Amino acid sequence: MARKPRRTSRSRAREEALAAAGAVRVPERCDVCVVGGGASGLAAAVAAAEAGASVVVLERSPACGRTILATGNGRCNFSNAHLSWERYNDPAFVEAVCGPNFGEDVLAFFGDCGLAWAEEEGGRLYPLSRQAASVREVLLARARRCGATLAPAREVTGATREDTGWRVAYEGVRAGNVAARSVVLALGGGEALLRSLGLSCDPFEPVLCALACEAPDGVSLSELDGRRAHAVARLLREGDEVARETGEVLFRGYGLSGIAIFDLSRHARSGDVVSLDLTCGVSEAAACRLAATAGSCAGLLDPVIAATLKDSLEAACDLRFVVTGPAEPERAQVTRGGLATDQFDPATLAARELGGLFACGEALDVDGACGGFNLAWAWKSGLVAGRAAAASSPLN
Ligand X SMILES: Cc1cc2nc3c(=O)[nH]c(=O)nc-3n(C[C@H](O)[C@H](O)[C@H](O)COP(=O)(O)OP(=O)(O)OC[C@H]3O[C@@H](n4cnc5c(N)ncnc54)[C@H](O)[C@@H]3O)c2cc1C
Question: Minimum distance from CB of 64 to ligand X (Å)?
Answer: 7
- Toward ligand X, which CB reaches closer, 150 or 232? 150
Residues 6 or more apart in contact with residue 287 via CB below 8 angstroms: 279, 300, 313, 316, 317
Cβ contact 339:163 at 8 Å: no
Exposed (0-12), middle (13-18) or buried (19+): which is 183, by Cβ within 10 Å?
Answer: buried
* Distance between start and end Cα atoms, the chain: 66
Question: Minimum distance from CB of 71 to ligand X (Å)?
Answer: 3
Which has the closest alpha carbon to 116: 134, 102, 104? 134
Question: Minimum distance from CB of 186 to ligand X (Å)?
Answer: 5
Quick note: the x/- pattern for ligand X over 326-345, rule CB under 6 A, is -------xx-----------
- Toward ligand X, which CB reaches closer, 19 or 192? 192
188 binds ligand X (CB under 6 A): yes
206 binds ligand X (CB under 6 A): no
Task: Sort strands 176-185 and 165-172 into parallel, antiparallel or unpaired.
Answer: antiparallel
Distance CA 359, CA 38 (A): 13
72 binds ligand X (CB under 6 A): yes
Residues 6 or more apart in contact with residue 240 via CB below 8 angstroms: none
Q: How many residues bind ligand X (CB under 6 A)?
A: 34
Stretch touching ligand X by CB under 6 A, among 25-33, 68-76, 219-227, 387-395: 68-76
Quick note: the x/- pattern for ligand X over 32-51, rule CB under 6 A, is ---xxxxxxx----------
Stretch touching ligand X by CB under 6 A, among 2-10, 226-234, 262-270, 371-379: 371-379
Quick note: the x/- pattern for ligand X over 74-103, rule CB under 6 A, is --xx--------------------------
For residue 66, is it left (φ>0), alpha (ψ between -120 and 50) or beta? Answer: alpha
Rounded to 10 degrees, the C-alpha dihedral 112/118/124/129 comes to -90
Cα 84 to Cα 81, 99, 179, 209, 260: the distances in Å are 9, 11, 38, 21, 18
- Toward ligand X, which CB reaches closer, 263 or 272? 263
Residues 99-128 contacting ligand X, CB under 6 A? none
Cβ contact 301:324 at 8 Å: no
- Toward ligand X, which CB reaches closer, 268 or 334? 334
Cβ contact 48:31 at 8 Å: yes
Minimal CB distance residue for ligand X: 38
Contacting residue, 70, 116, 128, 192, with ligand X by CB under 6 A: 70
**Which residues of this protein are in contact with ligand X, per CB under 6 A?**
35-41, 58-61, 67, 70-72, 76-77, 155-156, 186-188, 190, 193, 333-334, 361-363, 372-375, 378
